[in-house]
């Protein structure tokens, strides 16, 4: 799927709800931090970007892709997947709510585009996307992203 990256169970989480979008970004990106994909500064930059530019990370209904500029602390290419039972509101508008957070770590523009392309292939498939939202195990998520 993406050069030198394999989605693993450590990079998948299931959560009932988050108290705020900031908490959602911090917590859903924690697997990237814990597994050496990003520095804390990168997660801080994700939050700053949304505060500055608005909810641009909500790329489609129910899908948010938190990310920041590589130079803010991306170490290696990867992403993590968080499925949230109750939608996270990134603004007051209903179209800015998301139940799937795919936090990205991109080291440059080229890998950013390749990763987005690979993810869009999976997430654009409505059946697969619904299966992701309904998944109850990490293995189900891994199977859908293979």
CATH number at residue 139: 3.40.930.10
The verdict on residue 2 lying in a domain is no
pLDDT (mean) for 103-120: 85
88-107 per-position pLDDT tens digit: 999 999 999 999 999 999 88
Where in 33-109 does DSSP place strands (E)?
58-60, 62-64, 78-89, 97-105
Number of domains in the chain: 1
Just list the catalytic residues: 67
The verdict on residue 31 lying in a domain is yes
pLDDT (mean) for 104-114: 84
pTM: 0.94
What is the enclosing helix (H) or strand (E) of 110? helix 109-123
Comparing 9 with 111, which gets the higher pLDDT?
A: 9
50-80 per-position pLDDT tens digit: 999 999 999 999 999 999 999 999 999 999 9
Burial track 70-93 (b if 16+ CB lie within 10 A, e otherwise): bebbbbebbbbbbbbeebbbbeee
């Amino acid at each position: 799927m993406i050069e030198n990256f394999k989605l693993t169970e450590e990079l998948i989480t299931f959560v009932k709800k988050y108290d705020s979008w900031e908490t959602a970004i911090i917590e859903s990106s924690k697997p990237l931090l814990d597994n050496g994909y990003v520095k804390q500064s990168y997660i801080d930059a994700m939050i700053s970007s949304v505060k500055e530019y608005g909810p641009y990370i909500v790329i489609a209904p129910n899908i948010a892709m938190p990310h920041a500029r590589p130079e803010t602390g991306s170490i290696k290419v990867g992403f993590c997947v968080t499925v949230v039972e109750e939608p996270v509101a990134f603004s007051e508008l209903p179209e800015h709510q998301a139940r799937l957070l795919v936090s990205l770590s991109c080291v440059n523009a080229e890998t950013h585009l390749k990763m987005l392309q690979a993810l869009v292939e999976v997430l654009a498939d409505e059946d697969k996307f619904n299966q992701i939202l309904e998944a109850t195990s990490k293995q189900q998520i891994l199977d859908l992203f293979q």
